[in-house]
Amino acid sequence: MTSALFTPLTLRTVEARNRLWVSPLCQYSCEAQDGVPTDWHLVHLGSFARGGAGLVMSEATAVLPEGRISPWCPGIWNDEQRDAWARIVSFIHGQGAVAAIQLAHAGRKGSTHREWSGRGTVPAEEGGWPTVAPSAIAFGDYAEPTALDEEGIAAIVDGFGEAARRALEAGFDVLEVHAAHGYLLHQFLSPLANTRTDRWGGALVGRARLLLHVVRRVREVAGPDVPLFVRVSATDWVEPAGWTLDDTVTVAQWLREAGADLVDTSTGGLIPDATIPTGPGYQVPHATAIRERSGIAATAVGMIVDARQAEALVASGKADAVFVGREFMRDPHLPLRAAHELGEDIGYWPPQYTRASWRSRPAVAHEED
Ligand SMILES: Cc1cc2nc3c(=O)[nH]c(=O)nc-3n(C[C@H](O)[C@H](O)[C@H](O)COP(=O)(O)O)c2cc1C
């Protein structure tokens, strides 16, 4: 059998060995609050590469200090961070996976506690900072952000450009711009967070301007060979007042023209109390719509947990590849397991682990189907 999920995918000059990819997963684990990734990040990301992932994406990595989600999030705004990432990238490459980085700015959702140690905004004396946004509108009960001025917006674009340069110096193969989940670029896109009346707000073209500036700048830095992804929230789940799938489809076409290669399709995160109809593969229809209506490659993510489910999504052309988050954390060897379940003979079982491979175990009932 030749599985669609295990068929390599080439974007520009980069080939991923399969289409089962690791979604960005915040770890809140830079204990020194300096944005430098640690051994935790090496083991966390490295285990997915060892486990056979085609592409391993870093968690949201801040392009500027105040772009972090929490004081414990990693960054790539200085050379010390770049060099720490380089070690992790080198291990990922050694295991045969593509190394990708999600470049991010949290905007009004920055300066928060980590999930397990509190809620809301971290005060300055504990390492927090004043947040910025398109408009002075708070996210839920978080601190009110300051609306960015022209100079502040220019610094954001420069921040993404410099971060892209450092990411390439660290050896990353793929760059992703994070424009989803209610973070800064999504805040600019959504009329629920952006009430500006200048050229960075108003109609769709104004609200999309910052994202397009960022993508053009990152493409300029990346040159022609490096694939560029954009993660979007395809809807705020607040219709018709919020950001919608139709808006996303239009902007995806503009992103393609601006040099993006793939839309990593998620949803939600802009407001705290949206009702989201979650369920297996619940965001797949959004990815399919973007892929079919915008003519850009698109990936699906969200409650994709099973080899046959992932295989069917890719084989039917609903998505070019799948990102998986929580199931990878439950089982970092998910691709090795999925290949076995799909009867696919992959050539990258780690040699050190050969004696553990399922094929060397006596067959059990479910292995025979
Ligand atoms: C612990 C955790 C951290 C996450 N961090 C990020 C992140 O840094 N960037 C991002 O775009 N999405 C992040 N997400 C969302 C995931 O990438 C993914 O889209 C989501 O979990 C749905 O996929 P899943 O059902 O396979 O987990 C995070 C999710 C979890 C559970």
pLDDT above 70 covers what percent of the chain?
97
Judged against a pLDDT cut of 70, whether residue 360 lies above it is answered with no
Among 67-71, 175-179, 208-212, 342-346, where is mean pLDDT lowest? 342-346
* Beta pairing class for 9-11 and 20-22: unpaired
Neighbours of 313 (CB within 10 A): 24
Give residue ranges with CB within 6 A of ligand 1. 23-26, 59-60, 102, 178, 180-181, 231, 266, 301-304, 324-327
Average pLDDT rounded to a whole number, residues 306-312: 97
d(CA 56, CA 45): 7
Q: Residue 289 has what pLDDT?
A: 98
Q: Residue 369 has what pLDDT?
A: 42
CA 233 to ligand 1 centroid distance, Å: 12
The pTM (predicted TM-score) of the whole model is: 0.97
pLDDT tens track for 94-107: 999 999 999 999 99
Q: Which two tokens stand for residue 148?
A: 């960015």
Q: Ligand 1 test: best mutation among 20, 21, 25, most atoms within 8 Å of CB?
A: 25
Residue 209, Ramachandran bin (φ over 0: left; ψ between -120 and 50: alpha; else beta): alpha
Residue-range domain boundaries for the chain:
18-345
Instruction: Note the Cα 323 to chain centre separation in Å.
Output: 9
Q: Ligand 1 test: best mutation among 22, 26, 44, 324, most atoms within 8 Å of CB?
A: 26
CA 128 to ligand 1 centroid distance, Å: 23
Residue nearest to atom 22 of ligand 1 (CA): 302
Average pLDDT rounded to a whole number, residues 280-291: 97
Judged against a pLDDT cut of 70, whether residue 134 lies above it is answered with yes
Q: Residue 368 has what pLDDT?
A: 46
Q: How confident is the model at residue 364 (pLDDT cuts 50, 70, 90)?
A: low
Judged against a pLDDT cut of 50, whether residue 351 lies above it is answered with yes
Judged against a pLDDT cut of 90, whether residue 173 lies above it is answered with yes
CATH code that applies to domain 18-345? 3.20.20.70
Judged against a pLDDT cut of 80, whether residue 136 lies above it is answered with yes
CA 109 to ligand 1 centroid distance, Å: 15
Strand, helix or coil for residue 67 = helix
pLDDT tens track for 30-54: 999 999 999 999 999 999 999 999 9
Q: How confident is the model at residue 112 (pLDDT cuts 50, 70, 90)?
A: very high
CA dihedral 89, 93, 96, 97 (to 10 degrees): 30
Average pLDDT rounded to a whole number, residues 247-268: 98
Residues paired with residue 103 on neighbouring β-strands, in sequence order: 61, 177
Judged against a pLDDT cut of 90, whether residue 359 lies above it is answered with no
Atom of ligand 1 nearest to the CA of 69: 8
pLDDT above 90 covers what percent of the chain?
94
Residue nearest to atom 31 of ligand 1 (CA): 326
Among 71-80, 200-209, 311-320, 348-357, where is mean pLDDT lowest? 348-357
Whether 183 is catalytic: yes
Atom of ligand 1 nearest to the CA of 327: 26
Residue nearest to atom 10 of ligand 1 (CA): 24
Indicate which residue of 28, 142, 183, 348 is catalytic: 183
